[in-house]
Amino acid sequence: MATRYGAHLLVITLALSVAGAGLPAWTAGDWTTVGMTRDEKNGGAEPIVFPQRPGESPTFMVPLTLPNTIIPKRGRRGIVTYVVQPGDVIHSIANKFEVSVGTLMWANPELEMNPDLLIIGQELLILPVNGVLHTIKQGDTIAAIAQKYGVEPQAIWDCEFNDQQVLETLPAGQKIIVPGGKKPYVPRPVYVYSGPVPKDAKRGTGVFGWPTSGVITQGYWTVEGGYGHPAIDIANPGMPWIRAADSGFVIKVARNTGDTGYGNYVMVDHRNGFVTLYAHLDTILVNVGDSVGKGAILGRMGNTGKVRGITGIHLHFEIIKNGVRVNPMLYLR
């Protein structure tokens, strides 16, 4: 018994010595065992003697304790629901779940035409892989679905997240994932003014001034051929005035609109192929048909529409050229 206790004490002493001084670096061939095995006969109670260099006394080895265990990262097992939090933007949510912005937008159609429609508490579907979430319609086939989203039919069959029975029967209303698919872009409708042009309507110069002061919190971006944020957002908690970026006349004044997420907004036709849009206004000081010069006050910055609590007080500013939304940063001076 004394011998056993003595051996245990020696093990502890050597362990403390190793911890303080580091393990010796033996050359290949001098050390024949690098791990600790269990002495099954004695229940692991006896220390194990390892081979030593010629002429050296027997040496004991103790296992190295590793307090941190590396757990391999596991992919998600299916579609999950995410609740929008304060400060979220579509890019940050996509990055959090390691999916593309396009994938996030296509799984949540309300975001496709306007990613500004995020609101706190909103529930978003998050796919486990990049691609499209397709709702099956009557008459659908796997081949037709694959062709629509630009993938091979086998990709749909091989997707582990799809129910094989659903794929075989394709019941209307059920959803399947099209991995790697891209949704065909549907251009956003642009408001077209059909009323008379005021006699005193000014014509724009094509050179746009900044419509307000503040910080750009979201720039112009597009993904997958057209979806995205075709505007810039300028934030300022001081709620400064919003001014016409160029001369023209007012063709649209919308108040208390919730369908587009724009809230209160104004559109100005510059009579040279350009139209500008100013959204989320707190107050509007112009009416349809008013002629406005460059720098004329249109209203005051606000947070109307579906921006409250997410991006706060800011201006959503668009420049539309011949019916197509373009990057305002290319035209602002």
Query: What type of residue is 154?
Result: Q
Range list for CATH 2.70.70.10 in the chain: 215-330
- Please tell me the predicted confidence (pLDDT) of residue 17: 47
- Please tell me the predicted confidence (pLDDT) of residue 225: 60
- Please tell me the predicted confidence (pLDDT) of residue 233: 93
- Please tell me the predicted confidence (pLDDT) of residue 66: 47
- Please tell me the predicted confidence (pLDDT) of residue 26: 36
Superfamily (CATH H level) for 80-179: LysM domain (3.10.350.10)
- Please tell me the predicted confidence (pLDDT) of residue 61: 46
136 to each of 104, 168, 172, how far by Cα in Å?
Answer: 19, 12, 5
The residues that bridge with 126 in the sheet, in sequence order, are: 80
What is the per-residue pLDDT across 7-34, written as a single tens digit (0 to 9) for each?
A: 444 544 544 444 444 433 333 333 333 3
- Please tell me the predicted confidence (pLDDT) of residue 75: 61
Identify the segments of the chain with pLDDT beneath 70: 1-75, 224-226, 257-260, 306-311
Q: What is the pTM of this model?
A: 0.63
The answer to whether 132 and 184 have CB atoms below 8 angstroms apart is no
Residue 192: count of CB within 10 angstroms of its CB: 10
Range list for CATH 3.10.350.10 in the chain: 80-179
Q: Does domain 215-330 have CATH number 2.70.70.10?
A: yes
- Please tell me the predicted confidence (pLDDT) of residue 277: 97
The answer to whether 64 and 53 have CB atoms below 8 angstroms apart is no
What is the per-residue pLDDT across 210-235, written as a single tens digit (0 to 9) for each?
A: 999 999 988 888 876 667 788 999 99
DSSP 108: S
The answer to whether 231 and 249 have CB atoms below 8 angstroms apart is no
